[in-house]
Amino acid sequence: MSRYKHFDDDLSAADLNEAAVLPELDVDEPHQLEFKPQLRNYASNTLSSANKFNINYFKIYFSRRTRLERYLIIIVLLLSFILFASFSTLFYHQPEKQHRDDICLTSACIQVSSSIYSGMNQSVKPCDDFHEFVCGKWMKTNVIPKGHSTWSTTKELAKKNLIILKSILEQQIVINNPSNIFNAEQEAMKFYQSCMNISEIEKQKIEPLEIFLKNNLNLTLNQWINIDQNQTWQDLFVSLTKILATKYGFSYLLPISIGPDDKNSTWNVLHINQPQLGLGSRDYYVNSSMNNRSDPDTDTRNKIIRETYINVGAELLQLIGFDKNQSEKRINDIMQFEYELAIVSLPMEALQKPNETYYLMTLKQLQEHYQSLGLNIYTFLNDMLNINGSNPVKLNENDQVIVLSLDLMSNISTILNNYLLTPNKSHIVIDYLIFSLIFDISSHLPHAFEQITLPLLKELYGMDSLPERWEYCVKETDGAFGYGLGALYIKAVFGEKDRQQANDLIANIRQMFDENLNRIQWIDDPSKNEAKQKLKKIAEKVGYPDFINNKTKLNERYIGYSMIEAEYFNNGIKIIERERRRSLLKFQQKVDLTDWSMTPRTVNAYYSPSANEIVFPAGILQPPFFHKDIPIAINYGAIGTVIGHEITHGFDDQGREYDANGNMRSWWTKLALNQFEERTKCFVEQYSKYTFDGQSENGQRTLSENIADNGGLKLSYLAYQKHKQRALNGGNNLSLPGLPYSNDQLFFIAFAHSWCSLETRNAMHFDLVNDPHSPARFRIIGTLANSVEFAQAFSCQSKTTMNPSNKCHLW
């Protein structure tokens, strides 16, 4: 299935909780802000002849002082001169003298300038450590809020967006008067209220879970707790697998999804992924030596995480009725089962190779693996895909499904046969399925279920507390009714002028990629022509999907999503069921190219290889990333590098395997491909040298994102230079107040400012294991160390930290 390439995954586990409010400045009287460098310029332009220096007066004054006073005066003058000289060095790299008319004093400019200025540590030389130079003070004056494991400028913006949604959702009067609001928006408010109704959630205890298990799985908690461990349970396995996969998408051992065929991207087909593990990543279960990266410290940390997972799992089982001995024995068996699944699962590096994880398997072949377990694949899939009752689908043994690996499927069936057909092990598979389900939906149960998970959250991410309830509930509501909320969100923060200017930026950067292709020597003409065709056909989505402004279409999107304010658990289950239905109905249908994979408030962006499209939600098109009224240097340095990043994903080590139509196809000549692979080795070696707390970054794992970061920076800078020439005397070519740097320098400062961040120690280790992106610090220094333009803008001497002689270049 096509992989989405995110600019930054704010939905990842380590980033459970986004951000804080951007500082609100009083900008009614901008001249009152004490930006001293700018005040000095103003004074120099208004100095009158009456205030000119009088040398004779000074001689008389000086002769009348005592010797001690004269010494003190000389010392003060010398110190003043030194301070003046030091202050003046701030302007050393500024080729253009600023005048008042050259400075942007709009509220947006003052806000962005304040945000950047207050975060900088200007005592550090930019050529020594640009991350510290731009983010040093930000890191000292910010703290990671409670309930979070990371904090950053992007999280600040995300939190601001959440607060806007919170304000919308808490307009209680609208709920009581349905005629004033879209149906979808009203249901979103009901869902939010049900999530915030803690007293009702606590009062119901685990009754909603018990009813769900009995009504849907034909199983009571007591039956599960006292399951006979001396018999086999193939029939129950088949029953649970069918119901969970079909109705809710909880297909833990046979993860079935519907999505574009990577080799026929206009058509939706069946995909089977690898089993889901409780800890997510395979790396937590296996020793680092199995990944050819022996790291005893990492192995020790992972062992602690596994032990914590077992303890948390045992406590969760005790909450629903298991005794202590039962819970400990059963959760240890589940962990052993997950370990065996992890051993045969593919590592992240393998999953990042699309052409090596695309295999067609006939249903006949698949049936052979599950025949002994009593699972009839044909019946299972036909029942699943005909949920609308009209029975338009009839699969047969020659129909195909896309799997990651033929060996993977064989190995999983071997493990399942070993467990399910063995009397004292068969129940473990049932335990795994039900425990995984309860673990996934535990956040919809009383607070004690969430509180139990805190030790695991602490070991994985360094979190000491859960997020505030309102924040959790706003995110849940956005996930369930993102388009309904999005319609109101964009009215508050995102206008058509914003959208048009963002489109203009995209067009400029896309054009620069095309022009830059003409200058690249390592890629031959046949491959270059294919690249140009792909670039030309990249589709773009900006701000929000258009249908959300149509009341009728918006309501149609959420038909069947009727919420009850006192039933948070059931509301959540209903949404999961409706979304699964929507997904399954896409089978053997044309891909809907109007679909979005992010909601409008999201502070992120992505590239889809199979759709060959770039997507920028309104949530990221806000200060400090973007504003229609701030200087172009800031827009190009912040959101422009994100735009360039997503475009470059179409030509990274994974995106290059897809053609202009989004189909996986080899369109490179052998010569060009060899050159490409040789140049990417440089990035792998560079980023693998970066370490945190003794743990090295895996430069191969982060290669795609590093290629995109480097390409995005270069493309945006070149597009900015071209735009700057066109707008040399235009209003959007102004500088920011209080920042004594050239616009070229501000471009790079804005880029780095986007990545100012704090992470707990555990969150950093989590990211090094799970995140395909480099940590924020490495994204700054790694990318800029490869930039000739950066070194020129700051006059960095050769072989300094930020201007090494060996640089990696691709696009």
Report pLDDT digits (tens) over 417-429: 999 999 999 999 9
Q: Are 169 and 474 in contact (CB under 8 A)?
A: yes
| Phi–psi pair at 696, nearest 5 degrees | -85, 150
- Residue 651 shares a structural domain with residue 725: yes
Query: Who has greater pLDDT, 82 or 649?
Result: 649
Last residue of a domain, one of 445, 462, 482: 445
Express the helix, strand and coil content of the chain in percent, nearest 5 each.
Answer: 60, 5, 35
Q: Which letter does DSSP use for residue 796 in this model? A: P
Given pLDDT bands bounded at 50, 70 and 90, which one contains residue 733?
confident
Would 56 be classed as within a structural domain?
no
Instruction: Kindly report, residue by residue over 376-421, the tens digit of the pLDDT.
Output: 888 889 888 887 666 567 888 899 999 999 999 999 999 999 999 9
Strands 264-272 and 400-403: parallel
- Residue 504 shares a structural domain with residue 641: yes
Cβ-in-10-Å burial (0-12, 13-18, 19+) of 176 comes to exposed
- Residue 221 shares a structural domain with residue 345: yes
- Residue 292 shares a structural domain with residue 437: yes
pLDDT of residue 176: 53
Highest mean predicted confidence (pLDDT) among 284-288, 483-487, 710-714:
710-714
Structure tokens at 9: 């995954």
Residue in this structure with the two tokens 């790396």, named with its chain if needed: 283
Q: Are 649 and 712 in contact (CB under 8 A)?
A: no
pLDDT of residue 108: 86
**For residue 305, what is the domain's CATH number?**
1.10.1380.10
Given pLDDT bands bounded at 50, 70 and 90, which one contains residue 629?
confident
Structure tokens at 30: 């901008």
- Residue 635 shares a structural domain with residue 751: yes
pLDDT of residue 14: 38
- Residue 600 shares a structural domain with residue 707: yes
Alpha-carbon gap, residue 600 to 592, rounded angstroms = 18
Would 101 be classed as within a structural domain?
no
- Residue 261 shares a structural domain with residue 395: yes
Total domains, the chain: 2
Alpha-carbon gap, residue 776 to 463, rounded angstroms = 19
The counts of H helices and E strands in the chain are: 34, 12
User: Of 646, 652, 659, 767, which is the active-site residue?
Assistant: 646
Q: Which helix (H) or strand (E) holds 246?
A: none
The string of DSSP letters for 312-379 reads: HHHHHHHHTT--HHHHHHHHHHHHHHHHHHHHHSPPHHHHT-GGGS-EEEEHHHHHHHHGGGT--HHH
- Residue 358 shares a structural domain with residue 502: no
**For residue 613, what is the domain's CATH number?**
3.40.390.10
Q: Are 467 and 145 in contact (CB under 8 A)?
A: no
Strands 256-261 and 264-272: antiparallel
pLDDT of 16 over the 70 cut: no
Query: Who has greater pLDDT, 99 or 145?
Result: 145
Annotation says 323 is catalytic: no
What average pLDDT is seen over the chain? 85
Q: Are 710 and 786 in contact (CB under 8 A)?
A: yes
pLDDT of residue 101: 53
Q: Which long-range contacts (CB under 8 A, 24 or more apart) does 337-342 make?
A: 337/415, 337/419, 337/428, 337/429, 337/432, 338/277, 338/278, 338/279, 338/285, 338/432, 339/285, 340/415, 341/275, 341/277, 341/412, 341/415, 342/277, 342/282, 342/284, 342/285, 342/286
Structure tokens at 423: 């009397």
Strands 613-617 and 539-543: parallel
| Phi–psi pair at 144, nearest 5 degrees | -75, 120
Given pLDDT bands bounded at 50, 70 and 90, which one contains residue 291?
low
> From the CB of residue 521, how many other CB atoms can be counted at a distance below 10 Å?
6
Cα angle for residues 468, 470, 473 (degrees, 5° grid): 110
Would 581 be classed as within a structural domain?
yes
Given pLDDT bands bounded at 50, 70 and 90, which one contains residue 79?
very low
Note the pTM of the prediction, 2 decimals: 0.84
- Where in 230-388 does DSSP place strands (E)? 256-261, 264-272, 359-362
User: What residues contact residue 83 under an 8 Å CB cut-off, 6+ apart?
Assistant: none
The string of DSSP letters for 392-454 reads: -----TT-EEEES-HHHHHHHHHHHHHHHTSTTTHHHHHHHHHHHHHHHHGGGS-HHHHHHTH
From the list 706, 614, 714, the residue with the least C-alpha distance to 653 is 706
Would 306 be classed as within a structural domain?
yes
Residue in this structure with the two tokens 């202590």, named with its chain if needed: 324
pLDDT of 71 over the 70 cut: no
Instruction: Kindly report, residue by residue over 327-373, the tens digit of the pLDDT.
Output: 999 999 999 999 999 999 999 889 999 999 999 999 999 998 888 88
pLDDT of residue 62: 41
Given pLDDT bands bounded at 50, 70 and 90, which one contains residue 547?
very high
User: Of 652, 659, 709, 767, which is the active-site residue?
Assistant: 709
Would 175 be classed as within a structural domain?
no
- Residue 420 shares a structural domain with residue 537: no
Given pLDDT bands bounded at 50, 70 and 90, which one contains residue 293?
low
pLDDT of residue 73: 44
Annotation says 646 is catalytic: yes
Residue in this structure with the two tokens 């193939």, named with its chain if needed: 234
- Residue 424 shares a structural domain with residue 475: no
Cis bond upstream, residue 624 (ω within 30): yes
Q: Are 187 and 175 in contact (CB under 8 A)?
A: no
- Residue 484 shares a structural domain with residue 575: yes
- Residue 602 shares a structural domain with residue 745: yes
Would 398 be classed as within a structural domain?
yes
Would 767 be classed as within a structural domain?
yes
Domain that holds residue 360: 215-445
Q: Are 493 and 162 in contact (CB under 8 A)?
A: no
Q: Which letter does DSSP use for residue 49 in this model? A: G
From the list 640, 642, 596, 606, the residue with the least C-alpha distance to 490 is 596
Q: Are 703 and 684 in contact (CB under 8 A)?
A: yes
Residue in this structure with the two tokens 């068969």, named with its chain if needed: 426
Would 267 be classed as within a structural domain?
yes
